[in-house]
A = this chain, B = another copy of it.
Amino acid sequence: MATGRTHRPATRSRGIPEATVARLPLYLRALTALSERSVPTVSSEELAAAAGVNSAKLRKDFSYLGSYGTRGVGYDVEYLVYQISRELGLTQDWPVVIVGIGNLGAALANYGGFASRGFRVAALIDADPSMTGKPVAGIPVQHTDDLETIIEENGVSIGVIATPAGAAQQVCDRLVAAGVTSILNFAPTVLSVPDGVDVRKVDLSIELQILAFHEQRKAGEETTGDGTVDTAPPAAPPAATVRRTDGTDSGPDGDVPAVMPA
């Protein structure tokens, strides 16, 4: 009913910028690799290179967490691993349920990255009765009917949706009603959720389309005949006069001017 507003003032004086939060896992991964090689300290320059970011950005990011570095030396790897882990909430265990055990859901269940940090697959749930009891990644699939019970008994607050698009909103509603407050959505649909529930979306199709846009730009726009122009000709413009802000109109196609890429 209500449009899901993820809007949230948040970010008080103590709040960490969202962009920084999104990079913390990146730093953590690089630091973990250093830790496994028993590297005691690391400079912002080195760590930034490993994480693929600017060193100034990294230092500013860390400044939001506190002053954990030592000037002239760098950062203590173990200490920083702990601080970031704590900030991200990875020092506790997060039970997770995966709903929709198709190709993708099964792949997610088998993905080692889940268990590696604080996340534990508490249950696999699918609507297909023939799947019930069948083990996937060593965990027996349970039926959707028991969704609410599973959530409550395991204290699950993070749910992963890997169902077809048509079922996603319904599953989402049930998850939220049962107490889930964070959702990772793999279904190609926009989910509406009440305030206080976080949704993150992973959409393969969208990522590819973004790449295609840049790819097209790189290829230069003049030669359209490179591939197969299999799509229908341009649809009829709206009934009224088509107005263009661009004066260089030379026809239905070829109006995107070439722009120097980088």
Cα–Cα distance between A93 and B226 once the two chains are bound (Å) = 10
Cα–Cα distance between A181 and B207 once the two chains are bound (Å) = 14
Interface residues of A in 15-68 (CB under 8 A from B): 15, 21-22, 24-26, 28-30, 32-34, 36-37, 39-41, 46, 49-52, 66-68
Query: Which listed residue (B36, B212, B230, B261) contacts A158, Cβ 8 A?
Result: B212
Decide: A87 near B158, CB < 8 A? Known: A15-B259, A93-B227, A238-B69. Answer: no
Cα–Cα distance between A110 and B261 once the two chains are bound (Å) = 10
Cα–Cα distance between A115 and B195 once the two chains are bound (Å) = 35
Decide: A210 near B82, CB < 8 A? Known: A91-B229, A243-B67. Answer: no
Q: Are A92 and B229 in contact (CB under 8 A)?
A: yes
**Interface-side segment among A124-132, A145-153, A170-178, A196-204:** A196-204
Chain B residues whose CB sits within 8 angstroms of the CB of A28 once the complex forms: 209
Query: Which listed residue (B208, B215, B238, B261) contacts A112, Cβ 8 A?
Result: B261
Interface residues of A in 76-132 (CB under 8 A from B): 76, 78-79, 81-83, 85-94, 96, 103-104, 106-108, 110-114, 116-119
A134, CB-defined interface residue at 8 Å: no
Q: Are B82 and A234 in contact (CB under 8 A)?
A: yes
Cα–Cα distance between A81 and B235 once the two chains are bound (Å) = 9
A211, CB-defined interface residue at 8 Å: yes
Chain B residues whose CB sits within 8 angstroms of the CB of A226 once the complex forms: 92
What is the minimal beta-carbon distance from A62 to any residue of chain B, in angstroms? 12
Cα–Cα distance between A195 and B228 once the two chains are bound (Å) = 27
Q: Are B196 and A261 in contact (CB under 8 A)?
A: yes
Q: Are B181 and A218 in contact (CB under 8 A)?
A: yes
A79-B235, A88-B212, A103-B111 known; 20 new pairs, CB 8 Å cut-off, are: A21-B213, A33-B257, A33-B259, A36-B257, A40-B245, A49-B252, A50-B255, A66-B245, A69-B238, A70-B238, A82-B231, A87-B256, A89-B215, A91-B232, A92-B226, A103-B107, A113-B205, A114-B204, A114-B205, A158-B215
Q: 20 A-B residue contacts at CB 8 Å?
A: A26-B206, A33-B257, A41-B242, A50-B190, A52-B190, A66-B244, A78-B235, A89-B216, A90-B212, A92-B228, A92-B231, A104-B111, A113-B188, A114-B204, A117-B209, A158-B211, A181-B218, A183-B211, A184-B204, A200-B211
